[in-house]
């Protein structure tokens, strides 16, 4: 055998090994692609109903938000009406009620003075800066 024939046989053997290696790699790649295709199909089958449910949930939430908005606007209207009613009642009855209360207080004071015939004497107080008088400490006011 000559050197060219030996080199040809070596090249042929390496070529066969390379082709075998590439064939194994291509078979594994084909299996990986099949598995990926199955996975994508399963994810698609599961994702479509989930997306449908999510879309329905968002629509339902939008409906509920519209209802809450309507309720909030009604509550705001009721609040403004109650405020206006309160203002009206206060302006209508507030002034006369204060006057009646003041009149009743005056009548009570007059009746109590007529019973005693003498106005209640107020104790005289003397203020000395920096000192407290003994009589002023323990005294409680009558009310």
pLDDT surpassing 70 at residue 142: no
**Does 121 or 89 have the greater pLDDT score?**
89
Q: Averaged over 119-130, what is the pLDDT?
A: 62
pLDDT surpassing 70 at residue 122: no
| Angle, CA 54 vertex, CA 48 and CA 57 arms, to 5° | 145
According to the model, what pLDDT value does residue 110 have? 85
pLDDT surpassing 50 at residue 143: no
Q: How many CA atoms lie within 13 A of 47 on its CB side?
A: 6
Q: Encode 28-60: b = buried (16+ Cβ within 10 Å), e = exposed.
A: eeeeeeeeeeeeeeeeeeeeeeeeeeeeeeeee
For the stretch 66-118, pLDDT in tens is 999 999 999 999 999 999 988 888 888 777 878 888 889 988 888 888 776 55
């Amino acid at each position: 055998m000559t050197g060219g024939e030996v080199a040809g046989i070596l090249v042929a053997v390496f070529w066969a090994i390379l082709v075998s290696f590439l064939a194994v790699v291509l078979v594994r790649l084909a299996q990986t692609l099949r598995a990926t295709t199955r996975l994508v199909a399963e994810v698609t089958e599961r994702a479509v109903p989930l997306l449908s449910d999510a879309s329905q949930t968002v629509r339902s939430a939008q409906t509920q938000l519209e209802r809450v908005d309507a309720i909030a606007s009604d509550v705001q209207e009721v609040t403004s009406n109650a405020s206006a009613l309160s203002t009206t009642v206060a302006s209508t009855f507030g002034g006369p009620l204060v006057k009646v209360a003041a009149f009743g207080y005056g009548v009570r004071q007059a009746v109590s003075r007529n019973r005693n015939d003498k106005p209640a004497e107020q104790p005289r107080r003397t203020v000395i800066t920096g000192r407290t008088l003994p009589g002023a400490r323990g005294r409680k006011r009558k009310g």
